[in-house]
Amino acid sequence: MRNFSKVAALAALAMLAVSAPAMAQSLDQTINEGFANATGWFVNLIFSPFPGTTFPWIVMWLVIAATVFTLYFGFIQFRAFPHSISLVKGDYSDPNDAGEVSHFQALATALSGTVGLGNIAGVAVAVGIGGPGATFWMILAGLMGMASKFTECTLGVKYRNEYDDGTVSGGPMYYMTKGFAERGLPAGKFMAVLFSIFCILGALGGGNMFQANQAHAQISNVVGDYPGWITGLVFAGIVFAVIVGGLKSIAKVTEKVVPIMGVLYVLTALVILIMNYNMIGWAFGEIFVGAFTGAGVAGGMVGALIQGFKRAAFSNEAGVGSAAIAHSAVRTKEPITEGFVSLLEPFIDTVVICTMTALVIIITGQLVSDPNTGLYLLDEGASTIQTVDGNKGVALTSAAFSSAIPFFKYILAIAVILFAFSTMISWSYYGLKAWTFLFGEGQGKELAFKIIFCIFVVIGASASLGPVIDFSDAAIFAMAVVNIVALYFLMPVVKGELDSYLSRLKSGEIKKFH
Amino acid sequence: MSHKIVVGYDGSDSAKAALAFATDLAKAQGGSLVVAHVLEWSPYSFLTPNELEERHKRRGEELERAEAAILAPAVEGLKESGLEIETALKYGGIAATLGEIAKDRGADQVVIGRNGEPGLTSRVFGSVAISLAQAAPVPVTIVP
């Protein structure tokens, strides 16, 4: 496996070196075609539809999982919501633990890994294909996904490894091996290995290529078109400086600016909504009607549903397992408390931020509809809805915001770059955790992964959106396939923790410190 | 009644002046000292995944370093005074945490040094001395 990776890395490097003198656009094309050919089979496998339908089995898989967890834990995402907020505020934190990782910090770090292009570009893709109705399914998926997140993050903390030097490692790999062994279930190790492989692919796909791709789209949208590999090289250089060179200052600045950008994004969206307050009712009407009738959208209602669920899962990563890695460093005696805190993540990410993006796109009239029938007009090929300037992905969101506040596209460009960057840093960490789980720790081994990661930044920025988004989705959903199987087997453990915690909370054994 | 004085101490010159003042006071009143050092920390700050992973380890290192570089030399310097000395080492906002230490240890006053000239930063965000004077549960003495 390690040798294979080295060969892959060398091949990618050689590809770059050979094509560099050629015309810039043809380099992008070479990378694009090579990439699409190499990943097509994997994408087809993950997104293959149920026989006789167009409905991808993977979407059903996520929907069923979120429903099962929601019912099994008795709508925990609504019951525990107020308690989750008190936990984040630190009401239940022991003052003597000050200086350790707080619930707020674990949540903020996990959020900066998920709040990113999924919220800005992903939503635009969903609404561009599935119409306004996709928003309804996206919100529903976000609400249900809270239960999946709750389950995986509780397990992530419960079965994490704490080493003698005080560092911790956690995530699905650990609950698969330790949790399965504890319950006498077979194949835990096998699943952990499978998950780790998919996690590495997910880190290179959605956590890297998609980010680089859309960051490039955004920059060229502002400054004019130029070859993607240039953006790729610059980004790769900065990522390299941070993850290999240990340049902490850049990461630190990003970690501080990203939350500010997130708040600014939501506030701007709110301002645009207030400016068009008389259309909010209409927009929700479009969302509800579109959700159940598919009003002239490619693929009808099912198309809207598929897009909504796909983009929600891609954005909030509920059930994917990545958050379990980020949340496992928190200092707590009760693993379940991190589960409570983590369920806020899909809420903030999807129910709040993604919905804002969708509303702005709908309200600013980016989607072209037939003035006579009110139905949306489709592009040639009938795969996407026509937009005012033919924008898709991040360019569509940018056009929507700029139509209300012209200079916002520059702020959005900066936000996109920072979001993309912070997501890359987070996923390089998740990928590295999976990598070291497979190959063991060691400087040489870790360096190999980091270099591969940087090479994929260049590939992602050069390839076109279609193959990149297909591969990114496929890799992230492949993680969910393995992770959710493990969650089904381990959910009684979470149930035990939950019942015990709630009864102690009720009896007053667990008390507030503040 | 025995007097207990909390001294906010970070090893700076003004902190040394505060400690000297508190020592004289304790001697005169027949009281004891709590040498307190607070490591500035907010549970609402933002960290990278790597920092999260290493936080517990780093916290241990930071505590050790503060103990060895700041508190231990201060206590050593006070040996000859014959006073009863306690130490306190905590994470948190400096002013609020010094107030909490005074309450927890049953101290009846807090002595801190004043840090430099009032600059723009302290005008905008307030200074430790002013916040402490506003919020402390016991009388506060600020030593220039």
Length of chain A as a residue count = 514
Q: Do B49 and A168 touch (CB under 8 A)?
A: no
pLDDT band per the 50, 70, 90 thresholds, residue B121: low
Residue for token pair 């319950």: A183
Q: Which of A2-6, A223-227, A448-452 has the lowest mean pLDDT?
A: A2-6
For residue A85, the number of C-alpha atoms closer than 13 Å in the C-beta half-sphere is 6
Q: Which range, A348-352, A388-392, A414-418, has the best average confidence (pLDDT)? A: A348-352
Q: Which range, A117-131, A168-182, A389-403, has the best average confidence (pLDDT)? A: A168-182
The interface predicted TM-score (ipTM) is 0.83
Q: Which range, A48-52, A128-132, A188-192, has the best average confidence (pLDDT)? A: A188-192
A340/A348 Cα distance (integer angstroms): 14
Evaluate if residue A9 carries a pLDDT over 70. Answer: no
Q: Which has more pLDDT, A173 or A411?
A: A173
Evaluate if residue A273 carries a pLDDT over 70. Answer: yes
Closest A-chain CA to B58:
A166
B contacts of A166 (beta carbons < 8 Å): 54, 56-57, 59-60
A79/A85 Cα distance (integer angstroms): 12
What is the structure's pLDDT at A58? 85
Which 8-state DSSP code applies to residue B126? Answer: -
Residue for token pair 């340049």: A247
Residue for token pair 């939501």: A266
- Nearest by CB to residue B59, choosing from A99, A104, A330, is A99
The Cα of A253 is separated from the nearest Cα of chain B by a number of Å equal to 10
A contacts of B46 (beta carbons < 8 Å): 105, 108-109, 112, 255-256, 258-259
A252 and chain B: CB distance < 8 Å anywhere? yes
B contacts of A101 (beta carbons < 8 Å): 47, 52, 55-56
B25 and chain A: CB distance < 8 Å anywhere? no
What is the structure's pLDDT at B2? 65
Q: A100 forms bridges with which residues in the sheet?
A: A98
| C-alpha closest to that of A396 among A311, A470, A472 | A311
What is the structure's pLDDT at A299? 61
Which 8-state DSSP code applies to residue A98? Answer: B
Q: Phi first, then psi: what are they for A512, rounded to 5°?
A: -75, 145
The Cα of B106 is separated from the nearest Cα of chain A by a number of Å equal to 18
B40/A108 Cα distance (integer angstroms): 19
Tokens of residue A297, six digits:
């959208």
A contacts of B43 (beta carbons < 8 Å): 90, 93, 98, 102, 104-105
What is the structure's pLDDT at B117? 55
What is the structure's pLDDT at A95? 82
A169 and chain B: CB distance < 8 Å anywhere? yes
| C-alpha closest to that of A437 among A319, A321, A314, A317 | A321
The Cα of B48 is separated from the nearest Cα of chain A by a number of Å equal to 6
B92 and chain A: CB distance < 8 Å anywhere? yes
**Mean pLDDT on A69-73:** 95
A263 and chain B: CB distance < 8 Å anywhere? no
Close Cβ partners of A205 (under 8 Å, ≥ 6 residues apart): A468, A471, A472, A473, A474, A475, A476
B60 and chain A: CB distance < 8 Å anywhere? yes
A302: left (phi over 0), alpha (psi -120 to 50) or beta: alpha
A contacts of B48 (beta carbons < 8 Å): 109, 248, 251-252, 255, 425, 429
pLDDT in tens, B35-85: 999 998 888 888 888 888 888 888 989 999 988 988 998 888 888 888 888
- Do A216 and A463 contact (CB within 8 A), yes or no? no
- Do A243 and A512 contact (CB within 8 A), yes or no? no
A contacts of B92 (beta carbons < 8 Å): 95, 98
B contacts of A255 (beta carbons < 8 Å): 46-48
B76/B85 Cα distance (integer angstroms): 10
Q: Which of A40-44, A63-67, A176-180, A269-273 has the lowest mean pLDDT?
A: A40-44
B47 and chain A: CB distance < 8 Å anywhere? yes
B66 and chain A: CB distance < 8 Å anywhere? no
Q: Do B46 and A112 touch (CB under 8 A)?
A: yes
- Do B144 and B114 contact (CB within 8 A), yes or no? yes
Tokens of residue A47, six digits:
């997104």
Q: Which has more pLDDT, A431 or A369?
A: A431
- Nearest by CB to residue B48, choosing from A99, A104, A255, is A255
A388/A370 Cα distance (integer angstroms): 12
Q: Which of A66-70, A119-123, A433-437 has the lowest mean pLDDT?
A: A119-123
pLDDT in tens, B72-111: 988 888 888 888 888 999 998 888 898 899 898 988 899 9
pLDDT band per the 50, 70, 90 thresholds, residue A40: confident
B contacts of A90 (beta carbons < 8 Å): 43
Task: Enumerate the H helices of A185-227 as residue ranges.
Answer: 188-204, 210-223
Evaluate if residue B129 carries a pLDDT over 90. Answer: no
A396/A213 Cα distance (integer angstroms): 15
What is the structure's pLDDT at B120? 62
Burial A313-342 (b: 16+ CB within 10 A, else e): bbbbbbbbbbbbbbbbbbbbebbbbbbbbb
Pairing mode, strands A168-169 and A161-162: antiparallel
Tokens of residue A137, six digits:
């399914």
| C-alpha closest to that of B109 among B40, B33, B38, B37 | B33
pLDDT in tens, A85-117: 999 988 888 888 888 888 898 888 888 888 888
A contacts of B54 (beta carbons < 8 Å): 166-167
**Mean pLDDT on A155-173:** 90
A21/A471 Cα distance (integer angstroms): 28
Evaluate if residue A20 carries a pLDDT over 50. Answer: no
pLDDT in tens, A219-262: 888 888 888 888 899 999 998 888 887 777 777 777 777 888 88
What is the structure's pLDDT at A17? 46
Pairing mode, strands B32-40 and B85-92: parallel
Residue for token pair 């920072």: A418
- Do A237 and A370 contact (CB within 8 A), yes or no? no
Q: Do A98 and B41 touch (CB under 8 A)?
A: yes
Tokens of residue A11, six digits:
């091949």
- Do A250 and A234 contact (CB within 8 A), yes or no? no
- Nearest by CB to residue B56, choosing from A256, A331, A425, is A331
pLDDT band per the 50, 70, 90 thresholds, residue A388: confident
A119 and chain B: CB distance < 8 Å anywhere? no
Tokens of residue B51, six digits:
């920092």
Evaluate if residue A4 carries a pLDDT over 60. Answer: no
For chains A and B, CB pairs below 8 A equal 83
Residues of chain A with pLDDT > 70: what percent?
Answer: 91
| C-alpha closest to that of A90 among A76, A79, A106, A72 | A106
Restricting to A residues 401-460, those with a Cβ less than 8 Å away from any Cβ of B are 425-426, 429-430
| C-alpha closest to that of A338 among A76, A68, A151, A496 | A151
The Cα of B24 is separated from the nearest Cα of chain A by a number of Å equal to 31
pLDDT band per the 50, 70, 90 thresholds, residue A10: very low
B contacts of A100 (beta carbons < 8 Å): 55-56, 59
What is the structure's pLDDT at A380? 63
A106 and chain B: CB distance < 8 Å anywhere? yes
Return the biggest CA–CA distance within chain B: 52
Evaluate if residue A350 carries a pLDDT over 80. Answer: yes
A256/A235 Cα distance (integer angstroms): 19
Instruction: Give the DSSP H/E element, type plus range, for residue B80.
Output: none
Average pLDDT of chain A to the nearest whole number: 85
- Other Cβ atoms closer than 10 A to B61: 11
Q: Phi first, then psi: what are they for B37, rounded to 5°?
A: -125, 130
- Do A59 and A65 contact (CB within 8 A), yes or no? no
B39 and chain A: CB distance < 8 Å anywhere? yes
Q: Do B49 and A169 touch (CB under 8 A)?
A: no
- Do A49 and A485 contact (CB within 8 A), yes or no? no
Predicted model pTM: 0.85
Restricting to A residues 213-242, those with a Cβ less than 8 Å away from any Cβ of B are none
What is the structure's pLDDT at B116? 55
A contacts of B100 (beta carbons < 8 Å): 95
- Nearest by CB to residue B45, choosing from A105, A167, A430, is A105
Q: Do B100 and A95 touch (CB under 8 A)?
A: yes
**Mean pLDDT on A274-302:** 81
What is the structure's pLDDT at A2? 47
| C-alpha closest to that of A457 among A416, A418, A499, A428 | A428
Residues of chain A with pLDDT > 90: what percent?
Answer: 37
Q: A455 forms bridges with which residues in the sheet?
A: none
B59 and chain A: CB distance < 8 Å anywhere? yes
